[in-house]
């Protein structure tokens, strides 16, 4: 049970206002419920800005329906992107970012739903460091652990669910607990526009008085349009350039995955490993040694050589313990035990994830091109990307076919109408 923030019942003029920015593209799984979760936040002072790049976007009827349903909530739609780089999410967000009423921005993906008290608890964390004695490094960004569900039941979706709710969540929580480096996923992030306007993505520490050369650089959200992983780069810029820190909320960013095939899953993981290796090469090289199969194989061989412990005995104990820890992480994030009718699917997906981890890593390390939203990009130094020509990304075969990885949107039913 998460505690209720006192900000939830405070007078509106006594707490900082928040602008909630939700970039939309197509019909994500559970889109209506995802967007509605921001309209029902228990916080007295916020606005919602929903943005789409195209006036024909299928998400528009859903957005308009919710605005009509909640007339007491300050909400509006912005149609049309502004191209500031190759990242379509940043291009979609840039107008909302500039037109937002409040300094505190909550950027939350359209595929994410959150609990009603999430905003109040997040603002608590963002403001907490300004009142501590002695003062600590100020919190510049509050983020939420992604927690995934796969209602469609596709194989790739199940494996993605097992990965994000166990291995990924475990590492994400550990890195942010140790807090020696920035580690941010952009499903749901809260930060101040005034802070973002002081950084440019160079990751070089900045003086309070900036030079003339620095003033010629692009600052703010537009500076991150050249990166594919703009979320992680924003977090790193606030951390390194301004010497500010992040805080991880007790809430989760609940993400429902749509139709994801096994091929989609493989190339999605390849994409982000290829981006990471140009951002944090040393950590990416060491990544296989954090995986269950390789770590247990090395340990089993060492213990057999040093102490004569049977390899098979150690592997059985190790894999069982690893699974138990992963299952505990999953259930802790979910807030309830894994339902009995889903255990078989979870164990199957978990095993497949473990078996695929090393082949996917090797495949990712052998290239530098990725597909994202149907477009091909070449990954450059520091995670920057540039668009490349070459086909529509749909050539057939698991390891030769490039699929439109993130467009797991449901087609609008022919009988859909505004209610």
Written in H, E and C, the secondary structure of 337-373 is CCCHHHHHHHHHHHHHHHHHHHHHHHHHHCCCEEEEC
What pairs with residue 246 in β-bridges?
A: 141
Give the containing element (helix H, strand E) for 281: helix 281-286
**Statement: residue 399 has pLDDT above 70:** no
> pLDDT (tens digit, 9 = 90+) per residue, 319-359?
999 999 999 999 999 999 998 888 999 999 999 999 999 99
As separate numbers, helices (DSSP H) first and strands (DSSP E) second, the chain gives 14, 11
Q: Pairing state of beta strands 104-108 and 245-256?
A: unpaired
* pTM of the full structure: 0.88
User: Are 23 and 51 spatial neighbours (Cβ–Cβ below 8 Å)?
Assistant: yes
**Statement: residue 391 has pLDDT above 70:** no
Q: Pairing state of beta strands 139-149 and 188-192?
A: antiparallel
Name which residue leads in pLDDT, 120 or 419: 120
> pLDDT (tens digit, 9 = 90+) per residue, 116-162?
999 999 999 999 866 555 567 899 999 999 999 988 789 999 999 99
> pLDDT (tens digit, 9 = 90+) per residue, 183-202?
999 899 999 999 999 999 99
| pLDDT of the residue at 213 | 55
Whether the link from the prior residue into 134 is cis, omega within 30° of 0, is yes
Q: Which residues are catalytic?
A: 231
Confidence of residue 248 (pLDDT cuts 50, 70, 90): very high
Q: What is the DSSP letter of 87?
A: -
Task: Please give the backbone phi and psi of residue 249, each rounded to the nearest 5 degrees, phi first.
Answer: -75, 160
User: Are 193 and 220 spatial neighbours (Cβ–Cβ below 8 Å)?
Assistant: yes
Confidence of residue 298 (pLDDT cuts 50, 70, 90): very high
**Statement: residue 239 has pLDDT above 50:** yes
**Statement: residue 414 has pLDDT above 50:** no
User: Are 87 and 230 spatial neighbours (Cβ–Cβ below 8 Å)?
Assistant: yes
Task: Please give the backbone phi and psi of residue 79, each rounded to the nearest 5 degrees, phi first.
Answer: -110, 130
Strand ranges inside 150-290, DSSP E: 188-192, 245-256
């Amino acid at each position: 049970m998460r505690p209720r923030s006192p900000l939830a019942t405070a007078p509106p003029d006594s707490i900082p206002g928040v602008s909630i920015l939700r970039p939309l593209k197509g019909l994500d799984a559970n889109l209506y419920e995802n967007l509605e979760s921001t309209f029902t936040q228990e916080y007295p002072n916020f606005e919602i800005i929903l943005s789409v790049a195209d006036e024909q976007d299928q998400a528009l009827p859903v957005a308009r329906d919710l605005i009509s349903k909640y007339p007491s909530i300050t909400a509006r739609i912005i149609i049309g992107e502004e191209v500031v780089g190759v990242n379509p999410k940043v291009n979609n967000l840039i107008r909302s970012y500039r037109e937002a009423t409040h300094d505190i921005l909550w950027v939350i993906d359209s595929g994410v739903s959150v609990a009603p008290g999430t905003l109040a608890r997040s603002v608590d964390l963002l403001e907490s460091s300004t009142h501590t004695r002695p003062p600590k490094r100020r919190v510049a960004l509050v983020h939420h652990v992604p927690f995934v569900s796969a209602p469609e039941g596709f194989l790739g979706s199940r494996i993605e669910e097992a990965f994000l709710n166990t291995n990924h969540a475990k590492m994400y929580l550990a890195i942010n607990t140790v807090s020696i480096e920035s580690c941010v996923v952009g499903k749901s992030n809260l930060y101040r526009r005034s802070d973002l306007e002081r950084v440019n993505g160079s990751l070089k520490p900045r003086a309070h008085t900036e030079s003339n050369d620095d003033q010629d650089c692009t600052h703010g959200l537009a500076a991150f349009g050249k990166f594919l992983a703009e979320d992680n780069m924003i977090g790193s810029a606030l951390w390194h350039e301004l010497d500010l820190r992040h805080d991880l909320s007790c809430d989760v960013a609940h993400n429902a995955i749509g139709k994801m095939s096994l091929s989609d899953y493989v190339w999605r993981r390849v994409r982000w490993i290829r981006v990471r290796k140009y951002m944090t090469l040393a950590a990416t090289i060491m990544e296989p040694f954090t995986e269950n199969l390789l770590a247990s194989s090395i340990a089993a061989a060492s213990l057999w050589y040093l102490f004569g412990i049977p390899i098979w005995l150690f592997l059985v104990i190790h894999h069982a313990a690893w699974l138990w820890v992963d299952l505990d992480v999953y259930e802790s994030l979910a807030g309830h035990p894994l339902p009995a009718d889903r255990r078989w699917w979870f164990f199957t997906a978990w095993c497949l994830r473990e078996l695929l981890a090393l082949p996917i890593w090797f495949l990712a390390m052998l290239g530098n091109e990725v597909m994202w939203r149907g477009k091909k990009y070449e990954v450059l130094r520091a995670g920057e990307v540039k668009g490349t020509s070459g086909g529509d990304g749909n050539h057939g075969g698991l390891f030769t076919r490039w699929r439109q990885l993130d467009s797991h949107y449901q087609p609008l039913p022919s009988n859909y109408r505004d209610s």
